[in-house]
A and B are shown apart, each in its own frame.
Chain A
Amino acid sequence: EIVMTQSPATLSVSPGERATLSCRASQSVSINLGWYQQKPGQAPRLLMYDTSTRGTGIPARFSGSGSGTEFTLTISSLQSEDFAVYYCQQYDKWPLTFGGGTKVEIK
């Protein structure tokens, strides 16, 4: 099973600042990685797939990078609606696995 590790667990950021979230895979997943955003009481929403392709309607301030075992989600200028929990997920191999999440909170 591929273990996905996200860091940090919590990220405190001021509105307008840049946020950088990390996701590490225990073995290579190529670029077969997605990112999801989840707000309290809501279902997750796809942000990014294939490492760097934005999902439908996702603003350009979200970007993804990486390959193999190291991945990054960057939010260039945090807006109030971006404070949420973010999960990475690999779909390179079964079983599909998620990271533990990074909570982005208001500083």
Chain B
Amino acid sequence: EVQLLESGGGLVQPGGSLRLSCAASGFTFSTYAMTWVRQAPGKGLDWVSSISGGGGGSTYYPDSVKGRFTISRDDSKNMVFLYMNSLRVDDTAVYYCAKGGGAEFDCWGQGTLVIVSS
């Protein structure tokens, strides 16, 4: 069974940093792209970042987070990370880890809540 488990969310002040982690199991992690998607309270889904699989490690970001967020992966530990810097109030959201990228997302974690507030 494919499972994704996010961690690392919490309360952070504007301008602060946070690292999110996603532990994957139940599939050959290294061969799949992985993605972070967020959802602000009461709002829709917003793509945050993707990283390719198969050893390529190409990364993709929307303009809204480019230069502030960094995605990475550790295939030896079946984990993907999201480093978030210069956090803003409008980055407040539930952050989901999803399997896939550049295609459909066929499995999602339960999410981790990030609150950016002073």
Q: Which residues of A contact B (CB under 8 A)?
A: 1, 32, 34, 36, 38, 42-46, 49-50, 55-56, 87, 89, 91, 94-101
Contacts and interface: CB of A to CB of B under 8 A. Distances in A.
Contacts of B46: 98
Interface string B65-99: 00000000000000000000000000000001000
Given A43-B96, A43-B111, A44-B96, A96 B106 contact: no
A36 B45 contact: yes
B44 A98 contact: yes
**Interface residue SS majority, chain A:** loop
Contacts of A1: 62
Interface string B51-62: 000000000111
Given A87-B44, A96-B50, A100-B44, A56 B106 contact: yes
Contacts of A99: 44
Contacts of A34: 104-105
Given A43-B108, A44-B105, 10 more contacts: A32-B103, A36-B45, A36-B105, A43-B96, A43-B110, A95-B60, A96-B47, A96-B60, A96-B101, A99-B44
A1 to B, nearest CB: 8
B62 A46 contact: no
21 contacts: A34-B104, A36-B45, A43-B109, A49-B104, A49-B106, A55-B104, A55-B106, A89-B105, A91-B102, A91-B103, A91-B104, A95-B47, A95-B60, A96-B35, A96-B47, A96-B101, A97-B47, A98-B44, A98-B45, A99-B44, A101-B45
B44 A49 contact: no
A36 B100 CA distance: 14
A1 B107 CA distance: 25
Contact of A94 (B37, B60, B103, B110): B60
